[in-house]
Structure 1
C-alpha cells in the first residue's frame, strides 16, 4: 500500500496530516480522550477516534460535484 501525502497544517512533521491510498484516506490527529464525548460514540474494539481540524478538508481531492470522492 503506497501512501501519498496530501497535506497538513503543521509544517514538515506533526499533526494534523492527511494521506491517501488507492481506496482510503489516512488521517493523523490527536486522540479523543474526553470520556463524555467517547460515551456518545460506539467505537468498536481495535479502533480509535481522532480529532482532525476542518481545515484539513481543503486537502481532499475534489470530485465532479466539488466534494471529496
Structure 2
C-alpha cells in the first residue's frame, strides 16, 4: 500500500495525520481510544476485537471534506 501524506493538525509532527492510499482509501493516525465506556459503546456497535478506534480533531476531517469538495469542483 502506497501512502501519500495529506494533512496534519499537529504543530510538532506526528499524530494526528491523514493519508491517502493507492487503494482509493484513507488512513487516519490518531490517539488510540482507551476509555472503557467509549470502547464498550464501540463494541456494542460492532467493533471487533482485532480492530481499534482512534480519536482525531474535527479539523483533520474538516480538511478532508474541503479537499473532497475541491476535487469535485475540479472535475466539473
Matching residue of 1:62: 68
Moved over 3 A (4+): none
**Structure 1, unaligned runs of 5 or more:** none
Larger Rg: 2
Instruction: Report the number of matched residues.
Output: 65
**Structure 2, unaligned runs of 5 or more:** none
TM-score (norm 1): 0.79
Within 1, Cα distance between the matches of 2:4 and 2:25? 11
Contact 1:18 1:59 in 2 (8 A): no
